[in-house]
Amino acid sequence: MLGPARGARSLPWRVLVLIGLAAFVLFLPGRMTTPPFDRDEPRYMEASAQMLETHNYIDVRFQDKPRYLQPAGIYWLESMAVKAVGMEYARTVWPYRIPSLLAMTGAVVLTAIMGASLFGAMAGVGAAVLLMASVLVAAESRMGTIDSCLLLSVLVAQYALVRALADREAARATPAGTALLFWGAVGCGLMLKGPVVLIPSLATPLAMGWVERNLDLWRRLRPAWGWLVAAAVVLPWCVAIGVVSHGEFFRRAVGGNFLGKVASGQEAHGLPPGYHLLVFLIAFWPGSYFAASVLPQAWQERRTLPVRYLLCWIVPHWVVFESIATKLPHYVLPTYPAIAILSAGLLAQSGVVWRNGPQTRWGRLLLGAYAVLWGFAGCALAAAGPLLLWTLERQFSVPALVLPGGVLPLVGLAVWQIWRAELCYAALSSCVAAALLYVGLFTVVVPQLRSIWLAPRLVALVQAHKPCAQTQVYSVSFTEPSLVFLIGGKVVLGSPAQAAQAMRDHPACTAALVDVRERKAFMEALGAEAPKAFSRGTVAGLNYSNGHAMAISLYTLDTPVVDKTPH
């Protein structure tokens, strides 16, 4: 039997609406006030903006270079969102983040539905709360990247699997619509991130078949013709991009991006196996401790259908991404709903006082040590806002101090409840702490971190002092994609020599952004025979992408003006 009695296996639509509204509201703060996060987010935004400008929805480009990393699905979604709110001619950040907001909200609701189906209504609500409260979900839901939308496509496919499992347990036929839903979700995932979606979507039913020595679940998905549904979603664009790029897209996306991540660490992200387990403490906080606490119980109940299904979802995906060379925290995000359901489901079975912990002394010591680390992680997250403001901005902010003032007592309460083995209450206390943390962090702290948001300040400097309406800007020292997006794509990322040559060729309408470290090279390249370059202002701060402190000045060859820009 799949989960408890039928009456307890579903959530009323009113509860689902409340869960969706809670997730939506929790994911809202910071979407408008936070500039693009370098480096991936503004790359997606700029490519989507160029789609709207050129009306070329096949060939994805970042400035004049092809962006052949994944299919066009995410760029279509962002372009549609921007067009829907009528802001296709403005370089405003928040519309590009709408797909992530809606997708992550939908993912939370689907997690609740699946959790209720597998373990009961209370487990469904608990799973949704654990997922929406996690650090990685809070971050990804606020970024205009691919991962929230990919997570939703994975969850739709898994929802179809849960329905097929329920049909199997009830000894009834699985409707063709369930198979269509599964393969349609796989096709959407392929349009978002290519073959990556196949790892959780196909590995789960195949792992179930291997563990059970029975492929009935796989056959219920109609693989004989189902793959044609997925192909119908992705094939038209694949043919079009193959023709337009003369096959270059597949050489780069599959041979370079996908297989390259397997063989070697790309962009300095090569790390050994075990990375995702270490990062999990923070990435899934506050749910990380509760996931660790149910491991012994999950092992004991591994032969029950809900636990077996969730382990077949989690383990293959986790093993694959621990094995490949390139590692980033969001690579295992598709397992987080399953972990949340497993944690909430097993905790709900234990009642108020949890008695299903490790039976051995070493097991209890390890779980206790993990609880201590978990508590320290919560305290560190609570204190991060005021510490960042003081370290980076030398600001003592009273509103920012309210943040740890509200979060730390709840973390302490959760630790005390863990000591008393009241894990359900501890999960609730820590999730409320996480919600307060995110609201305070994104409404109070992040907007005040001016020193790390170099791109918006550089764009403001250019707009205030550009010599012509159509000034050509060269950025010598700061080459982050956020600058490209916010300045409208009209910037050349070049060397000091290139900027100097452009200024000599077009002295009236050319400007250069040059860091103090490259000023000498720029001036030497400009030459003594050229008109003197004058600084129109300086923006100082920290490039958090590489950790370099920068002092970037805007230079033109026009007559000198008084520098009104605060340093």
Judged by DSSP in three states, 16 sits in helix
pLDDT band at 254 (very low <50, low <70, confident <90, very high): confident
Domains along the sequence of the chain with CATH: 11-267 (no CATH), 451-556 (3.40.190)
Q: Output the CA–CA distances (angstroms, integers) from residue 339 to 120, 196, 310, 324, 539, in the order listed.
A: 16, 19, 8, 21, 44
pLDDT tens digits for range 3-19: 544 445 689 999 999 99
Q: What is the per-residue pLDDT for 260? A: 52
420-425: average pLDDT = 94
The CA distance from 27 to 45, in Å, is 19
* Residue-wise DSSP of 284-346: TTTHHHHHHHTHHHHHHTTTSHHHHHHHHHHHHHHHHHHHSSB--GGGGGGGHHHHHHHHHHH
Rounded Cα distance between 241 and 346, Å, is 47
90 pLDDT higher than 50: yes
pLDDT at position 382, please?
94
pLDDT at 265 over 70: no
pLDDT given for residue 268 in this prediction = 45
If pLDDT is split at 50, 70 and 90, which confidence band does 270 have?
low
* Order of all β-strands in the sheet with 491-493: 491-493, 472-475, 510-515, 548-556, 534-543
The 8-class DSSP code of residue 89 comes to T
Q: For the segment 193-234, what is each residue's pLDDT rounded down to a tens digit?
A: 999 999 999 999 999 999 999 999 999 999 999 999 999 999
Q: What is the pLDDT of residue 22?
A: 97
Which tops the pLDDT comparison, 295 or 253? 295
Query: How confident is the model at residue 160, as a pLDDT?
Result: 98
Residue 178's pLDDT band (cuts 50, 70, 90): very high
What integer pLDDT is reported at residue 262 of this predicted model?
Answer: 55
pLDDT at 359 over 70: yes
Residue 353 has pLDDT above 90, yes or no: no
- What's the whole-number mean pLDDT along residues 235-264? 79
Q: Is the pLDDT of residue 562 over 60?
A: no
365-416 pLDDT per residue, tens: 999 999 999 999 999 999 999 999 999 998 888 888 888 888 999 999 999 9
What's the mean per-residue pLDDT of the chain?
Answer: 91
Confidence tier at 257 by pLDDT (50, 70, 90) = low
As a residue count, the chain comes to: 567
Strand 534-543 to 548-556 pairing: antiparallel
**Least confident range of 46-55, 179-188, 246-255, 439-448:** 246-255
Higher pLDDT, 325 or 418: 418
**Contact (CB, 8 A) for 325 and 264:** yes
Q: Name the DSSP letter for residue 220.
A: H
Cα-based angle 463, 465, 469 (whole degrees, multiple of 5):
60
Is the pLDDT reported for residue 344 higher than 70? yes
Q: What residue type is assigned to position 556 of the chain?
A: T
In single-letter form, the type of residue at position 30 comes to: G
State the pLDDT at residue 561: 46
At 349, the pLDDT band (50, 70, 90 cuts) reads: confident
Q: Assign 102 to helix, strand or coil.
A: helix
Nearest residue to 552 via CA among 523, 528, 517, 526 = 517
- Please tell me the predicted confidence (pLDDT) of residue 565: 52
> How many whole angstroms separate alpha carbon 285 and alpha carbon 273?
21
Percent of the chain's residues with pLDDT above 90: 80
pLDDT band for position 357 (50/70/90)? Answer: confident
142 prior amide bond cis, ω within 30? no
Question: Pairing relation of β-strands 491-493 and 472-475?
Answer: parallel
Please provide the distance, in angstroms rounded to a whole number, between the alpha carbons at the two ends of the chain.
68
Which one has a higher pLDDT value, 47 or 355? 47
- pLDDT tens figures, 477-528: 899 999 999 999 999 999 999 999 999 998 889 999 999 999 999 999 988 7
Residue 402 pLDDT: 82
pLDDT of residue 7: 41
Nearest Cα to 486, choosing from 49, 51, 60, 66? 49
